[in-house]
Structure formats: structure tokens, C-alpha cells
Amino acid sequence: MAKENLYLKFLLLTSVVALACFILTIVNDLRYPNIDVQHNKHHINSRLMLWKIDKEPREHHHPVYKRKILSKTTYPIVVSRPYKINNKDICSGVDKVSCIVMVHTAPKHFERRIRMRATWLNSTHYSPESVRVVFLLGLVADPILQTKLEYESKIYKDIVQGYFIDSYRNLTNKGVMGYKWITEHCRNAEFVAKIDDDAFINFFKLFEEMSYLKEKKKYIKCNKISKGSMKIIRENDSKWFVQNDEFKDMKRYPHTYCSGFTVFLSTDLVPMLYHAAIGSPFFWVDDFYLFGLLPSKVQGVIHDGLRPNLTLRFPESFNCYQEQGRKCQYVVMPAKDKEIYRMWTAVIRDRTQSIYGNYYMNLPSNKENVRRLY
């Protein structure tokens, strides 16, 4: 028993001495760190790394690979991020949606969106055809504005907001988010329309004269800009300035694309464009990226021109409908704010509305029955 007690005292004394030596070593390292004379930088002793972390990244010098490796490639951020606001049931409740309209809108354009919903984006006007709308937005810095957007979403249930700053140079992210949302939530649409929120579509004329859009595959109809016809702007004082390392050594855009004011797409193409975006580096000029670069990665896409059914001048389209009524050739025209009601009034001036709210149309599948109504 005496020998065991003596042995235990020896072990305890040894442990105390070892612990004291370790503590003294740590204290010494803290007070007098080693100095790398060659680089004049202080390096923390490896014994301290368990609980002390460098405030600045430490440089690692390799005898062979001295070049810094920098990755500048970025991709649309909406591919890997969720929605802040998502109304996923916009296209549900019906077997098919004739057209889903995705609108690139500015957060503060509350009144404009109200006017659009009340007039040409009111689906009841087009029965038996059905139109649905989704307004696409990015993040805003103002919490009051964000609260208003969330309230608008609760009322109308047609807002989708992504996790990117809502800005001009983020329109590519907004467009890819639209492709993503349709891929996930609106595959039952017969065709897709992408518009800016100052555009106006006469859906009566579209359903009457352009119903072939429902049957197209890998198809885009728009204000087409042919390959090599549009100059790449390199002047840094321009709104459309493109840096020299983007499309390097090129003077003109290398693919056919669309002016994004109004673009019609076959529904089958949208998931293909979204999946192409997953592996396509971000480029801020949204019209070229969304309707030129991405379609170039899908074999067999057809770009078709929208003219002469398009005008970019409100007085021209308004006067045309005032004078010619439904004989006016324009399907797509500009209209914003108070112009929306004026344009709507001109478009419906020679159309008859039923007691159910829809306006009679001379649809290709029902020509004889509708003709008797007039």
C-alpha cells in the first residue's frame, strides 16, 4: 500500500511539472513571437493555432507556382438561390394557360401594374382563352417599399421576387429567374410572352391572327436583331458600355437576338434556356444574354421577326386603332401609366363585351359562330 501511494504521488508531481512547463512555453510564445526576418512578418507559433486565428490571411509562398489564381467567371445568381416572394399557383387551377406573361417591372411602379391588371392583363376579357401574368422583381433597400411589395403580393398573388438587387444591370438575373419560375411552375402554358412594363399587347388580335404561336417549337418571335448587325459599345460613358474583356476582340454581337421590349417564346424552349443559363457565364446585357447567347446553346432555335405588327411609338399605335379599329395591324405597342387606359379604350372601341366580361373574338377554331355575333 505504501508503495502504491508513493507511485501515485510521483505521477501527480510529474503531471504538475509538465503542465507548468507547457504553460510557461505558451506564455513565452505570446510575449516573444518568432519573427521571419526575410518577409518581416510575425508568425504565430503552431502550438497556438488551436485557439488563435490570424486577423489577416497568411501568404503561402511556393517555390514554383508564384502566379495568383483568380477566377472572374460568374453565373446568374438566381440559379442557386430561392425566391424571396413566390406565388407558385399563378398557372394552377386550369389544364392549360393560353399565355403566361412575365413582366420585367420596377418596384415602385405600383400604379402601372394596377392599370395593366385592370385592362389588357385581365384574363376574363379573353375567355375562352386564358392569360396569366407574373411580375418579376429584385430586392429593394427600403424596408417600407419591401413591405408595400409584400402587401401587393398578398392582394394580387402575381409577384415573384428574387434574391438580387433590382437594378438595370441585374436584368439578366431577372430574366433567368423568369425562365426558372416558368420551368418550375408554369409548364402548362401554350406559349410565353416576356415584356417590359411599358409594353402593351392586343391579345384579341394575337389570338385571332397569331394562334400559330401555340404550335411552335424552339421558337422566338420578336423585334429581331440579326447576327453581326449590332455594334458592341465600348465607350465607358455609354449606358450600354461593355468592358474590353467581355467578347474580347469582337466589334459586333455574334448571335441573332431580340430587343426585349416584347418577346414571344414557345413554352418548350424556356426550360432549355434556363438549363443553358446554369452553365453560361453572366453577361449584363440582358437582351443579348436571354434571347441570343442562351438560344445559341440550343440546337435548332428559330428567331422570327415581329414587324410589321410592332411599333415603338404610342401616337402611331393609338391613332391607328382610333382610325382603323381592329383592322389596325399592330399587336405590340408601347403604353405606360395613363396611356394604358387610352390604348385599351382604343383597342376595344369596336369590340362587343358579353355579360360575363369577356369580349367576343373571331377565333380560328370558332369563326362561323363568332361571325354571326357581328
- How far apart CA 164 and CA 285 sit, in angstroms, is 16
> Which one is predicted more confidently, 170 or 13?
170
- Report the distance separating Cα 317 and Cα 347, nearest Å: 10
Quote the CA–CA distance of 47 and 143 in Å, as a whole number: 48
* Pair 38, 103 in one domain: no
Same-domain status, 63 and 88 = no
| Nine-digit cell string for 96 | 392549360
Is pLDDT above 50 for 47? no
Residues contacting residue 96 through CB under 8 Å, at least 6 positions apart: 130, 188, 189, 190
Inside any domain, residue 75? no
334 — pLDDT class (breaks 50, 70, 90): very high
**Domain annotation covers residue 78:** no
- pLDDT the model gives residue 202: 98
Residue 319 has a CB neighbour count (10 Å cut-off) of: 13
Claim to verify: residue 138 and residue 255 sit in the same structural domain: yes
Among the listed ranges 64-78, 195-209, 252-266, which one has the minimum average pLDDT value?
64-78
Is 373 inside any structural domain? no
| Pair 60, 187 in one domain | no
* Neighbour tally for 287: CB within 10 Å: 23
What are 162's strand-pairing partners?
A: 83
Distance CA 169, CA 282 (A): 11
56 and 175 belong to one structural domain: no
Put residue 341 in one of left, alpha, beta given phi > 0 → left and psi -120 to 50 → alpha: alpha
The distance between the two most distant Cα atoms of the chain, rounded to a whole number of Å, is 120
Are 14 and 36 spatial neighbours (Cβ–Cβ below 8 Å)?
no
Q: In this predicted structure, what is the pLDDT of residue 160? A: 98
Residue ending a domain, among 21, 44, 70, is 70
Residues written for the chain: 374
Residues 50 and 151 in one domain: no
Please state the domain count of the chain: 2
Place of cell 398557372: 91
How is residue 334 annotated by DSSP?
E
Domain CATH code at residue 294: 3.90.550
Average pLDDT over residues 215-235: 95
**Stated pTM of the model:** 0.78
218: left (phi over 0), alpha (psi -120 to 50) or beta: left
